[in-house]
Chains A and B, each alone.
Chain A
């Protein structure tokens, strides 16, 4: 079965600074990778996903993630964060059985 490790439980950063949230996965088969965001008191929302094709995927609000098969990673990046990006971010992996496994989450706190 696949698994996900998010290497940082908390990431504090100042507004307009760049940020990287790290995610590594383990799987013996081909995978599909996702980043979900959870704002306070809300459900999870899909931020971006990698299914196939280009290894660099982008979201509409400036985040991007790159699938690196050799490193088994799917790190999330943003060149300049806003206060409104403060949230919990979850990396997730699934394979053909659609059994989605989530990481423990990274709490991103953007400070003014």
Chain B
């Protein structure tokens, strides 16, 4: 079974520029997550999709971040405009079920996109 794919692996941009990240989850996984991992910290959930609907985006800075999962498969995360503090690794994960207790919480992670904002 293929894992979670993400691209690009690395991205360097100037502040105030825009950037987009792409994620392809494991086939058949209904739930998709985007995390932000700042150096020295654990991953922080930005947004969670169940199929193509948003389950939780309470920690997404909506003034500059947006995400979509139009057909319930691939997803894109966009930052517009970027700030210096957005420098981080952006991780995408997927899981088969959206509710705990049914393969609860076993999320499979992609390799991440390392973003550097100069």
Are the CB atoms of A98 and B41 closer together than 8 Å? no
B13 → A minimal CB distance (Å): 20
- Given A44-B43, A99-B56, A94–B105 Cβ distance below 8 Å? yes
Interface size on A, residues (CB 8 A): 27
- Given A49-B106, A98-B100, A100-B105, A105–B42 Cβ distance below 8 Å? yes
Interface of B: prevailing SS: loop
Q: Which residues of A contact B104 (CB under 8 A)?
A: 32, 49, 51, 94, 98
| In the assembled complex, A34 has its CB within 8 A of some CB on chain B | yes
Are the CB atoms of B111 and A43 closer together than 8 Å? yes
Contact with B along A45-82 (1 / 0, CB 8 A): 11001010000000000000000000000000000000
Q: Tell me the A residues contacting B by CB distance below 8 Å.
A: 4, 6, 32, 34, 36, 41-46, 49, 51, 90, 92, 94-105
